[in-house]
Amino acid sequence: MKQFLLSIAIMLFGVLYSDAQKVVSGVVTDDAGVPLIGANVLAKEAAAIGTITDVDGSYKLQIPENVTTLVFSYAGYSTKEMEIGTASVMNVTLAEGKVLEEVVVIGYGTQRKSDATSAISSVTGKDIAGLVTPSFAGQLAGRAAGVQITTNSGIIGRAPSIKIRGVASVNSGTDPLVVVDGMPVYSGDLGGYADASGLGDVNPADIESYEILKDGAATAIYGSRGANGVILITTKKGKKGTAKVTLNSVFGFANPVKTFDLLKTNDFITISNEKRTNRGQTPWAVGTTYDTDWQAAVLNNNAFQTDHNLSVSGGNDATTYYASFGYGAQDGVAKANNMNRFNFKTNLEHKVLRWLTVGGGIAYSQTKYNGLNTGRNSLSGNIFNAIRQLPNTPIYNANHPTGYNLSTNNTVVGQWDNTDAVGDNISNIAYVLDNNVFESTIKRVLVNASVTADIYKGLTYKLMGSIDNPLTSGFLYWSPVHGDG
């Protein structure tokens, strides 16, 4: 009896549910009457209810009574909403929509990417957002085919090596031309005593997109300067609308990935004394109190890196504006190596007449680099020195006037309990890094101005002027107590 009543209840529920449903059918076509296969038909009030058209553009959809509107859409066509009302048959025609074209900068203007015949790669700002690098070159690495960007060391401020489609010169420069908003800028070392890359003065947060021109056809307008390729940088500009304020802060840490595998104290003493014994000499390595990692004395763990940017943009029919303020600070993986950068940038465009537009921008940056001696055969080079130190000697000596483990005449690192000093006149690298100063400060101004005249439909004349003015000061101090001084 219970099973019979349950069956009756299910049947009644099915009848009631079917009565609350409505079936709508029809055909979806384009302006020419051609059926659209796979067009979406969705209930506006319940997006989970929907279907797609079949091979003849027809559809059939069962919907609840509370659904009053159907939404028809198809890729490349305008979306259309239609009230159902009492209709059970709804035939719909969709109009072709506006297809967005991807545009690339090509030097003197822009071009649809589909029309470009030269080798051009494009990287947008969203692809590099959130990356903490001392220059935009570090952000661009690995994001454009045929562009090889390498950093020869972990020193902040060292200009990276950029090669587009390999090395294009035997005995001349191999770096590409860098153009910012139509202005060629200097991208090499800007001088001073610390490494100071010219690319580090362009704030990555102000960049809207990159275009990399790779072949002769694309770079021809720049002449011989573009022989190694061209990197075109377009900075952010204001857009029509209410003022938009954006704050972006990024924090990060850097660590050495791999260090040299050196002998610990016990193995060092055993091997060093075996060598002496084999030569008929008395042992000289003495003392196991210390097991010093000298590489840790010259390298940072969790080197702090941060970047902050505040921008304001907006405009109306006549004027658009963009202004940004930025601050970045990075500690290098190598001790005594860091960077601090403050920058300010503005972009302004104003339509004076219907056919005449003036614009321009000012970018100011002040970057300070603290560096160090990194010569391959320099006694005070950090890694060169660290891998030659004796592990059973300490870094510090409380009994020495300097507080560091130095020889009695301060010329070399103290030998501690060993009978002989370390060879090659090696200095105490920790003292050298803590006391010597290699400094570069760059104050750079980039100014550009333009006048654009719409002479005739499809014909535009643009006059541009620009200034790139870097001023570098350097400071070098070698302590006279010990080391290089």
Looking at residue 260, its pLDDT comes to 95
Q: Is the pLDDT of residue 284 over 70?
A: yes
> pLDDT confidence of 170, banded at 50, 70, 90?
low
Looking at residue 153, its pLDDT comes to 78
Asked if residue 110 and residue 83 are part of one domain, the reply reads no
Asked if residue 328 and residue 211 are part of one domain, the reply reads no
Asked if residue 316 and residue 345 are part of one domain, the reply reads yes
Looking at residue 103, its pLDDT comes to 57
Asked if residue 448 and residue 337 are part of one domain, the reply reads yes
Q: How many CB atoms lie within 10 A of CB 75?
A: 10
Looking at residue 161, its pLDDT comes to 81
Asked if residue 352 and residue 249 are part of one domain, the reply reads yes
Question: Considering the domain boundaries, does residue 153 fall inside one?
Answer: yes
**pLDDT tens per residue, range 204-222:** 888 888 888 887 766 778 8
Asked if residue 297 and residue 215 are part of one domain, the reply reads no
Asked if residue 261 and residue 217 are part of one domain, the reply reads no
Cα-Cα-Cα-Cα torsion 103, 105, 109, 114, nearest 10 degrees, comes to -40
What DSSP string describes 406-463?
Answer: B-TTSSSB--TTSSS--STT---HHHHHHH-EEEEEEEEEEEEEEEEEEEETTEEEEE
| Beta carbons within 8 Å of 458's beta carbon, 6+ residues apart | none
Q: Which of 158-162, 263-267, 431-435, 442-446 has the lowest mean pLDDT?
A: 158-162
Question: Considering the domain boundaries, does residue 298 fall inside one?
Answer: yes
Looking at residue 8, its pLDDT comes to 45
Asked if residue 290 and residue 207 are part of one domain, the reply reads no
Q: How many CB atoms lie within 10 A of CB 90?
A: 19
Q: Is the pLDDT of residue 2 over 50?
A: no
Boundary-marking domain end, from 200, 219, 235: 235
Cα-Cα-Cα-Cα torsion 186, 192, 193, 199, nearest 10 degrees, comes to -30
Q: How many CB atoms lie within 10 A of CB 296?
A: 15
Asked if residue 171 and residue 23 are part of one domain, the reply reads no
Number of domains into which the chain is organized = 3
**pLDDT tens per residue, range 104-149:** 566 655 555 544 445 677 777 666 666 666 677 777 777 777 788 8
> pLDDT confidence of 433, banded at 50, 70, 90?
very high
What tokens were used for 21? 């449903």
**pLDDT tens per residue, range 328-352:** 999 999 999 999 999 999 999 999 9
Asked if residue 133 and residue 224 are part of one domain, the reply reads yes
Question: Considering the domain boundaries, does residue 1 fall inside one?
Answer: no
Domain of 120, in residue numbers: 103-235
For residues 106 and 230, what is the distance between their CA atoms, to the nearest angstrom? 10
- Which CATH number is 52's domain given? 2.60.40.1120
Boundary-marking domain end, from 212, 235, 258: 235
Q: Is the pLDDT of residue 21 over 90?
A: no
Question: Considering the domain boundaries, does residue 335 fall inside one?
Answer: yes
Q: Is the pLDDT of residue 395 over 70?
A: yes
Average pLDDT of the segment spanning 54-71: 88
For residues 289 and 381, what is the distance between their CA atoms, to the nearest angstrom? 27
Asked if residue 390 and residue 473 are part of one domain, the reply reads yes
Boundary-marking domain end, from 200, 235, 270: 235
Question: Considering the domain boundaries, does residue 395 fall inside one?
Answer: yes
What tokens were used for 374? 């990194």
Question: Considering the domain boundaries, does residue 166 fall inside one?
Answer: yes
The residue type of 120 is I
Question: Considering the domain boundaries, does residue 134 fall inside one?
Answer: yes
Q: Is the pLDDT of residue 172 over 70?
A: no
How far is the CA of 49 from the CAs of 69, 276, 449, in angstroms? 12, 87, 55
Asked if residue 286 and residue 178 are part of one domain, the reply reads no
Q: Across the chain, what does the average pLDDT equal?
A: 85
- Which CATH number is 119's domain given? 2.170.130.10
For residues 61 and 63, what is the distance between their CA atoms, to the nearest angstrom? 6
Question: Considering the domain boundaries, does residue 314 fall inside one?
Answer: yes
